[in-house]
Structure 1
Amino acid sequence: MTIKKVSIIGLGALGILFGNYLSKRMPKEDLRIIADKDRIQRYKADNVYCNGEPCHFHYVTPEEGCEPADLLIFAVKFNGLEDAIQAVKHHVDENTIILSLLNGISSETIIGETYGMDKVLYSVAQGMDAVKVENKLTYDHMGMICFGEREPGFNSQKVKTVASFFEKMDVPFEVDPNMYRRQWGKFMLNVGVNQTVAVHKSNYGEVQREGHAQETMISAMREVMALSEKEGVPLTEEDLQYWLQVLSTLSPEGKPSMAQDVEARRLSEVELFAGTVVKLGEKYGVPTPTNNELYRRIKSMESQY
């Protein structure tokens, strides 16, 4: 199988970043951005910008019949996932490969419940420092997409097909033969950096340097480490240092998505981060005081919108 038709749902930071990148390397009709009519009208009227350049996207509504996608990419926020799953139904057939760039550790399973886990590869997007303000995205580091099968130790034909396509498109990527563990590692980083920067109303620079914010971030990450052992994907000190190194490469002026949500007075993905950690902590009897406090503070901030 060769990937020719690609569909993306979600024009947040990752949707714009990778959508714009692919749009410069594919025939316009072969890359479809799925959105409802109102969003499409707004996108066409105001345009969407990536590092100052207008994006030239081919938009389709969920109702439009079309040739199914060879590769379908979910790039929505978690609270929009259920609607997105329904919106992409015309883009999925028995051969479609699905990648989810959502944060957290649950979106693949949720998508698989509707379309079958046999179509889904596990993935994370990492290393980007994209900031989206209204319809404008800016970034210094594009990062990469890491993907693979959930079960460790082998690369399926789906993995090889996506790798071949990304190589052809010159998309930065890494195939990880232990992808579920990688996903837990990214979850650990997100739990620490997203929430800490949001609470401090700051940027990556705040947690890249020594101080209270960095201590809070690492404490929240260590709580995820403790839970990962209970979940059978034990993260180590080496994993913690790896993700801190990834963080150190980002622009100090950049901000994670949750901090951008707080600035824009949007509801955040706190349930996906601290909410998940607190629930797992209760399940396994593991104390999670840092995430309890981050959850409380973010919920308090959101209640004032």
Structure 2
Amino acid sequence: MEIKTVSIIGLGALGIMYAQHLSKKLPKGRVRIIADKDRIKRYQIEGIYCNGELCDFHYVTPEEVVEPADLLLFTVKFDGLEDAIKSVKNHVGENTIFMSALNGIISEKMIEDAYGEDKVLYCVGQGMDAVKVGNQLSYDHIGLLVFGDKEPGILSENTKAVDAFFNETELPHEIETNMRRRLWSKFMLNVGVNQTVAIYKSNYGEVQQDGVARDTMIAAMREVIKIAAKEGIELTEADIEYWLNILSTLNPKGKPSMAQDVDAKRLSEVELFSGTVLQYAAKYNINVPINKMLYDKISLIESEYSV
């Protein structure tokens, strides 16, 4: 299979970054942005900018009948995923490949339930430092998409096709043959860095240096190691060190998505991070005081938005 057309739903930080990259590598029309009429109108009036450059995206509404996409990429926030899954139905064909760049560990299962397990590749984005303020996105590091098959040790034709496409479009990526472990590993990072930077209302620089914030981040990650073990996923201190090394390369002034949500007084994905940790902790009767503290503090911050 050869990938020629890509449909993307969700123009947050990652959606803009990937849409702009692919749109500059491919003829217009081969990259389609799915959005409702009101959003499209707003995008066209206000413009969307990526590193100061006005983006020239090809928009389609969910109702529009189009040729099926070869690759369908979800870059929405988790609270928009259920609606997004319904909105992409006119872009789905027999050979469409699905990938989700969402945070957390459950988006792939939701897409599988709707469109079939054989169509979904598991994926995480890492190493990017994109910051979106209003209609302006800026980043220094595009990072890479790590993807592969659900079952370990498999290298399917779908994975090979996406690899070839990303090579053609020069999108940084890496194939992983144990994606369930990689998903949990990235989840561990998000639980630590997203929530810690959010409660300190700071940036990556805050956790790149020794101090209370960095200690809090690492302690939250260690609690994920405990619950992952109960799920049969072996994470170690070496995995923490791996992510700390990646964090050290990011723009110190950059911020993870949850910190950007706090700045903008938007509801965050706290349920996807410490909320999920607390659910697993209750299931296995594990004490996770750092994640409980993070959950409570972020919930308090959000409760004060309308005050």
Which position in structure 2 is the counterpart of 1:146? 146
Match of 2:300 in 1: 300
Aligned to 1:287: 287
Task: Determine the structure 2 residue equivalent to 1:88.
Answer: 88
The amino acid of 2:238's aligned partner reads E
Superposition deviation, residue 244 in structure 1: 1.1
> Within 5 Å, which residues of 2 pair with 1:180-259?
180-259=180-259
CA shift at 1:229, angstroms?
0.5
Q: Secondary structure at the match of 1:229?
A: helix
Letter in 1 for 2:52: G
One-letter amino acid of the counterpart of residue 287, structure 2: P
- Aligned residue-pair number: 305
Moved over 3 A (4+): none
Counterpart of 1:77 in structure 2 is 77
The match for 2:24 is: 24
Residues of 2 paired with 1:153 and 1:117: CA distance? 17
Instruction: Quote the residue 1:260 is aligned against.
Output: 260
Which amino acid is the alignment partner of residue 257 of structure 1?
S
Structure 2 unmatched ranges of 5 or more: none
- Cross-structure match for 1:170: 170
Give the TM-score, by structure 2 length.
0.99
Partners in 2 of 1:201 and 1:12 — Cα distance? 20
Q: What pairs up with 1:128-143 in 2 under 5 angstroms? A: 128-143=128-143
Q: Distance in 1 between matches of 2:246 and 2:187?
A: 13
Residue equivalent to 2:53: 53
Query: What residue in structure 1 maps to residue 98 of structure 2?
Result: 98
Q: Which residue identity lines up with residue 62 of structure 1 in the other structure?
A: P
Distance 1:288 1:111 in 2: 30
Note the C-alpha offset of 1:39: 0.3
**3-state SS of paired residue (2:296):** helix
RMSD: 0.5
Q: Do residues 38 (structure 1) and 38 (structure 2) align?
A: yes
Distance in 1, Cα, partners of 2:52 & 2:290: 38
Which residue does 1:275 correspond to in 2? Answer: 275
What whole-Å deviation, never above 9, does each CA across 1:176-214 have from its counterpart, x for those lacking one? 111111111110000000000000000000001000000
d(CA) in 2 for partners of 1:196, 1:22: 32
- Of residues 243-252 and 196-205 in structure 1, the stretch that sits farther from structure 2 once superposed is 243-252
Amino acid at match of 2:116: G
**Secondary structure of the residue that 2:56 maps to in structure 1?**
coil
Q: CA deviation at 1:27?
A: 1.1
Which runs of 5 or more residues in structure 1 are unaligned? none
User: Could you tell me how far apart the structure 2 residues matched to 1:99 and 1:246 are?
Assistant: 23
**Distance in 2, Cα, partners of 1:155 & 1:287:** 38
**Alpha-carbon separation, structure 1, partners of 2:237 and 2:218:** 11
Deviation at 1:225, TM superposition (A): 0.5
SS in 2 for 1:80: helix
Partners of 1:231 and 1:28 in 2: CA distance? 44
Q: For 1:232-251, what per-residue CA distance to the aligned partner results, in whole angstroms no more than 9, with x for missing partners?
A: 11101111111111111111
| Secondary structure at the counterpart of residue 29 of structure 2 | helix
Which letter does structure 2 place at the counterpart of 1:132?
K
Deviation at 1:100, TM superposition (A): 0.1
Q: After TM superposition, give the deviation of residue 300 of structure 1 in Å.
A: 0.4
Following superposition, the deviation at residue 257 of structure 1 comes to: 0.3
State the partner residue of 1:121.
121
Deviation string 1:88-138 (CA, Å, 9 cap, x unpaired) is 000111200000000000000011100111100000000000000010000
CA distance in 2, matches of 1:179, 1:247: 21
Matched AA of 1:2? E
User: Take 1:180 and 1:244, find their aligned partners in 2: how far apart are those partners?
Assistant: 20
What residue number does 1:107 align with? 107
- Following the alignment from structure 2 to structure 1, what is the Cα–Cα distance between the partners of residues 290 and 148? 31
Whether 2:64 is the aligned partner of 1:64: answer yes
CA distance in 2, matches of 1:113, 1:244: 34
3-state DSSP class of the match of 1:85?
helix
Cα separation, 2, equivalents of 1:250 and 1:230? 32
